[in-house]
Amino acid sequence: MPRDPLLTRRTFLAGVGATLAAAAVPVFSADAFAADEHAKELCIGYQKAASTLVLLKAHGTLEKRLAPLGIAVKWTEFPAGPQLLEGLNVGAIDFGYVGEAPPVFAQAAGANFVYTAYEIPTPHAEGILAHLDAPIRTLADLKGKKIALNKGSDVHWFLVAALQKNGVKFNEIQPVYLPPADARAAFERGAVDAWAIWDPFLEAAKRQTNARLLADAEGIVSHHQFFLSARPFAQQNGEILAIVIDEVGKEGQWVRSHYSEAAAQLAPIQGLDASVIESGLRHYAHIYKPVDANVLAEQQRIANTFTELHLIPTKIVTKDAALSDKA
Give the C-alpha separation, 2 to 24, whole Å: 36
In a domain, 326, yes or no: no
- Does 189 lie in the same domain as 42? no
- Does 177 lie in the same domain as 113? no
- Does 306 lie in the same domain as 198? no
**Contact by Cβ (8 Å): 306, 312:** yes
Quote the number of domains for the chain: 2
**CATH code where residue 36 lies:** 3.40.190.10
- Does 115 lie in the same domain as 11? yes
**Contact by Cβ (8 Å): 177, 149:** yes
- Does 234 lie in the same domain as 260? yes
pLDDT digits (tens, 9 = 90+) for 91-117: 999 999 999 999 999 999 999 999 999
- Does 212 lie in the same domain as 175? yes
Helix crossing, 293-308 with 101-108: angle to 10°? 60
Residue 19: per-residue pLDDT: 44
Q: Tell me the residue length of the chain.
A: 327
Residue 82: per-residue pLDDT: 86
Single-letter amino acid code for the residue at 135: P
Neighbours of 167 (CB within 10 A): 10
Residue 23: per-residue pLDDT: 37
**Contact by Cβ (8 Å): 45, 76:** yes
- Does 59 lie in the same domain as 181? no
Last residue of a domain, one of 182, 216, 250: 216
Residue ranges of the chain with per-residue pLDDT less than 50? 1-14, 16-36, 325-327
Residue 39 belongs to domain spanning: 5-122+224-321
198 closest CA partner among 180, 210, 175: 180
